[in-house]
Amino acid sequence: METPKEITQIINKLVTKHNDLNAKFLSFSVVAESATLKGMLRQHADMHRFFSLQLVHDLKTYLPDAQLELNRTLANAIEMGWEDIKSSLGLDSDKDLEKNLSQEHSNCAKLCDQAYIQLGDTMPNLKSTLEEHIAWHVKVADHLPEVEE
């Protein structure tokens, strides 16, 4: 069974990933050319923001004193700076953005799966939230380009 500190670390990692993806997909939605892709990117950004808030709420239900790092990561900030430069130079195509969306979606799904396995059964609401996240990832994966392993 995981300790409260370990559970907080697991959830913090997921919250950070969701916050990074929220920022990334919002940024991508600005440079996407296709209205459909813009909408998809905004929807993914919104879902990741929702998931982040949901995880924080559920964790705080069990561990009200848990300290979470809710900001984006430095790696994400640097990556987004590079993406902004590429976009301003016109180097990102919608196809590139779709590939990136698919890859990030796949990576996040794996992270959710790992977190689900690591969490014990002492926090059923948190487990249920992760089950919802995993189900969403599975459902959405059918509508995204395949990720090359």
The pLDDT, as a whole number, for residue 89 is 45
The pLDDT, as a whole number, for residue 74 is 59
Residue 53 confidence (pLDDT)? 92
Over residues 22-76, the pLDDT tens digits come to 988 888 888 888 899 899 899 999 999 999 999 999 999 988 998 887 665 555 5
Structure tokens at 126: 């948190």
Dig out the tokens for 100 from the structure. 């990136």
> 3-state class of 79 per DSSP?
helix
Distance CA 103, CA 99 (A): 6
As given in the structure block, the two tokens for residue 57 are: 């709420």
Environment class of residue 11 by beta-carbon count within 10 Å: exposed (0-12), middle (13-18) or buried (19+)? Answer: buried
All structural domains of the chain, each given as residue ranges with its CATH number in brackets, are 4-141 (1.20.1260)
pLDDT in tens, 125-142: 889 999 998 998 888 877
Query: What does the alpha-carbon distance between residue 41 and residue 30 come to, in Å, rounded to a whole number?
Result: 9
Distance CA 22, CA 85 (A): 19
pLDDT of residue 48: 92
Q: Is 74 helix (H, G, I), strand (E, B) or coil?
A: helix
pTM to 2 decimals? Answer: 0.81
Q: Buried b vs exposed e over 30-59: b needs ≥16 C-beta within 10 Å?
A: ebbeeeebbebbbebbebbbebbebbbebb
